[in-house]
Amino acid sequence: MTQTSAPPLPHGLTAGGRGGDWVPVRPVYVALDVDGTLVSGDEVPDADILDAIVRLGATGVQVGLATGRMAAGADAILATGVFGGPHVFHNGAVVSDATGVERIVQGLTDPEVAALLEFGRDRKDLTIEVYVGRSYLADRTDPRSDAHARLLRAAPEGRIGSVDDLAGRPAVKAVAVCFDAEAAAATIAAVTGLGMAAGPAASPATPHLRYVNVTRAGVDKGSGVVAAARLIGTDPAAVAAIGDETNDIPMFDRIGTAIVMGDARPAVREHAHLVAPRFDSAGTVVALEALIALARD
């Protein structure tokens, strides 16, 4: 019997939990997570990361964002001009093309928003944010949530106590800003029990907070990146992504090259093909250089 040897790993990367399944393919589209991958508290990626993205784009690869943030929360990053898209926002609920036009929007229904608000009504360990267009509403004012507003560079436009406060506007996504791990676990259980999708996430800029992205059932970064690939006529096998958090797992599971940052928890690493160094050890640049090499092969 002839045995096939495993392909050599890209320079600077090690094998992830799915390393044995990885087949080197020239990437056509690269989706990049934001918090913990492109930035760690700063408003925009540093110069070395931006330079690597420019060089990756010069090989003909399309590079976009895949983030739980709303589009307005990534304005400064997109203003650097190095991301050609398409982009995935709101944890997969919105997919926009290279010009920023929203091509796919899969939001929450009013009954789903009402059920989520009812869950959070008497809790003191979280706030509920409901996103509409390029802004959001919060169910209460709590100074512990202020760090999230600073991360987004946008404060809530107002309060929401019921779906009437949406004033007829469709809700794209909700986020539970959780003040401890127990609140996040309770939110995940409640959201899944209500038939919606829960995407846990975190940011190095707000280590004291946990986030749970709440989207329509079946909507996550994985569905968003697959939809983005279809927009440009490519197969998910030719998609690569770099991420670091639990909400990146559905994306990792559906693409050809999944690269996880070295900061990620073991449970996230298990779903990646390749592991980059930690963010503070230039892990993002190392991962991008590996993709540039793949694109040139």
> What would the pLDDT profile of 39-55 be if each residue is shown by its tens digit?
998 999 999 999 999 99
Average pLDDT rounded to a whole number, residues 107-135: 96
70-103 pLDDT, tens digit per residue, is 999 999 999 999 999 999 999 999 999 888 889 9
The CATH homologous superfamily of the domain defined by 19-105+220-296: HAD superfamily/HAD-like (3.40.50.1000)
Fold match flag (19-105+220-296 vs 110-215): no
Domain 110-215, what fold?
A: 3.30.1240
- The structural domains of the chain, with segments of one domain joined by +, span 19-105+220-296, 110-215
Beta strand spans in the chain (E): 14-15, 29-32, 62-65, 87-89, 94-96, 102-105, 126-132, 135-138, 158-159, 173-178, 197-201, 210-215, 239-243, 257-260, 274-275
